[in-house]
Amino acid sequence: MATKTKMKARTGTGRWLLRLVFLGIFVSGGVLWYLLPGSDDELPHRLSGVFRQWHGAFAILSTLFIGYMLADHILPKMRRSLHWDGVLHLVVWGVLIASGYLLYYPQEIISTAINVSVLHWAIGLGLGAVFPLHVSRKIFVRYLRKRNLNRIDSACSVSMQGQTVD
């Protein structure tokens, strides 16, 4: 009879690697934005290619982490209940990954009405707001649960004071 062992989810090293990858994405994306040429006539900065490579490498690592989080965090949570902020987080990641892939196709093929580069920038900045929202909601829910449990414990102790045990 085989025993089923459950791995500890998101160990300390895994959390730090996840934070490092996301920090790398945001820093390399911010540097790329800073290095953008001011006009179409200017040549790109010589470090722009290096930071684009780093941004792509961090993006590939982030998709690996999303796969890990899907199996280890998202699916078990979705079996219990569906959290709106988690769904929003997944949608933003999906659109961000899709727009990142669309950056490599010629703009004439996709559409002239949609500037994929600006869309990718805006969604990337939005992800910077969605992730703290997702984490802070969990912290807030834990605080409310702890507070309500303390109220229930104090209410039970007040109601039990007048009773005697035979």
- Cα 23 from Cα 16, distance rounded (Å): 10
Predicted pLDDT of residue 1: 43
Say if residue 53 is in the same domain as residue 70. yes
Say if residue 134 is in the same domain as residue 108. yes
Say if residue 113 is in the same domain as residue 72. no
Say if residue 69 is in the same domain as residue 127. no
In a domain, 139, yes or no: yes
* Residue 42 scores a pLDDT above 80: no
Predicted pLDDT of residue 12: 65
Task: Show the beta-strand stretches assigned E in 9-145.
Answer: none
Say if residue 56 is in the same domain as residue 118. no
Say if residue 58 is in the same domain as residue 95. no
Say if residue 25 is in the same domain as residue 68. yes
Q: Is the pTM of this model over 0.85?
A: no
Residue 150, token pair as written in the block: 């303390």
As for how many domains the chain has, the answer is 2
Binning pLDDT at 50, 70 and 90, where does residue 150 land?
Answer: low
In a domain, 163, yes or no: no
Say if residue 87 is in the same domain as residue 150. yes
Q: What is the mean pLDDT of residues 22-49?
A: 82
Q: Each residue of 68-92: pLDDT tens digit?
A: 888 877 788 778 877 777 788 888 8
Angle subtended at Cα 18 by Cα 134 and Cα 36, rounded to the nearest 5 degrees:
90
Question: What are the φ and ψ backbone dihedral angles of 68, each rounded to 5 degrees?
Answer: -65, -45
Residue 42 three-state SS: coil
State which residues form the domain around 70: 14-35+48-81
Predicted pLDDT of residue 152: 56
Percent of the chain with pLDDT over 90: 0
Say if residue 76 is in the same domain as residue 113. no
In a domain, 26, yes or no: yes
In a domain, 73, yes or no: yes
- Cα 74 from Cα 64, distance rounded (Å): 14
**Of the ranges 33-42, 45-54, 152-161, which one carries the lowest mean pLDDT score?**
152-161
